[in-house]
Amino acid sequence: MALQFPSFDLTGRVAVVTGGNRGIGRSIALGLASAGASVAILARDGDRNAIVEGELEKFGFPAFADTLDVTDRAALEPAMVHVEKALGPVDILINNAGSADISGGVLEQTEEGWDGAIATHLTATMLLSKIAATSMKARGGGCIVNLGSMYSYFGAGALPSYGAVKGAIVQLTKSMAVELAPHGIRVNAIAPGWIATEMTAVAREDPDWANFHTMLMARTPMARWGEADECAGAVIFLASEAADFVTGVTLPIDGGYSIF
C-alpha cells in the first residue's frame, strides 16, 4: 500500500495578505498564488497594489487588491466583505502589515509612535482575525498566520514599541490557537530574522551601520541576509494540509540567529 503524504496544494483556497504589496508580504502573496490559492492583498499604496495584483494574476488564479490602512478600524470589515465578493469566503488570513518606529529607545519613544505600533501590528491583527475567524467558524475551519519577529524574543533597545508588539503577537497567536482549535481553525506565526527588504536597507547599506551589520552576520550561522521569498515557503506549509496538526507555534526564519 502506497504511503499517502499530505499536500502543500492550496488550489481552491482564498487567502488574504495584509501589507501584501512589498517585501515579505508580497513574497507571501506570490507564494500562496504559486501554490494555487486565489489571493487578495490589502495595503495602503494603490499603485503598488495594482502592480502586485498583476503579478498574482500571472499564476492563472483569481486575484484581488484593495486599498486599506489596517489602523482604520471602521474599514476592516468592509475590506473583508469586498474580498469575499470578489473571490469567495476567506480560508487563509496572513496578518503581515506592519512598520518599525526606530525611536532610539524608551527615553525617546513618542506616544504617537507607541500607539501607532500597537494599532498597526497588534490591534489590526486581533480585529482582522476576529472577522476572518467568525466566517471560518461558520464554515468549519480555516488558517491564520501572524507575523512575529526575532524581536518577539530578543530585546529591541532602539525599537521598544516594535519589540513590545511583536512579543505580544506570539502570545496572541497562542491564545487564539487554543480558543479556535475546536472550530477547526489553526493559528500560527512566523518570526523572520534579518531579511533583505526596504525596511532593513539602512542596516545593509549605510556605512554608519557597518559595525552593526558585521555583528549580525557573525551571529547568524548561515552568515547572510535572508530573502523575502524565503519566508513564503513556511507560510505555504502552515496554510496547507501538511500542517493540519500544527497550531500555536511561531516558526523562526532567521538563518539560525535565534539559536544563540
All residues at 6 or more sequence positions from 90 whose CB lies less than 8 Å from its CB, including other chains: 14, 15, 16, 40, 80, 83, 84, 132, 135, 136, 142
Q: What is the pLDDT of residue 157?
A: 87
Give CA–CA dist 236/163, Å, rounded.
25
Mean pLDDT, residues 37-58 taken together: 98
Mean pLDDT, residues 85-113 taken together: 93
Q: What is the pLDDT of residue 260?
A: 84
| Residue 102 confidence class, pLDDT cut points 50, 70, 90 | confident
Give CA–CA dist 50/47, Å, rounded.
5
Q: Give the model confidence (pLDDT) of 61-87 as tens digits.
A: 999 999 999 999 999 999 999 999 999
Name the nearest CA neighbour of 191 among 230, 159, 221: 230
Amino acid at 13: R
Catalytic residues, by residue number, are 162
All residues at 6 or more sequence positions from 93 whose CB lies less than 8 Å from its CB, including other chains: 15, 16, 128, 129, 132, 142, 143, 144, 145
Helices (H), the chain: 23-34, 46-57, 73-87, 111-117, 124-139, 160-180, 201-205, 210-219, 229-239
| All three cell numbers of 44 | 495602503
Q: Walk me through the domains of the chain, giving residue ranges and CATH numbers.
A: 14-259 (3.40.50.720)
Angle 234-24-84 from CA coordinates, rounded to 5°: 85
Q: What is the pTM for the complete model shown?
A: 0.96
Q: Give the model confidence (pLDDT) of 128-179 as tens digits.
A: 999 999 999 999 999 999 999 999 999 988 889 999 999 999 999 999 999 9
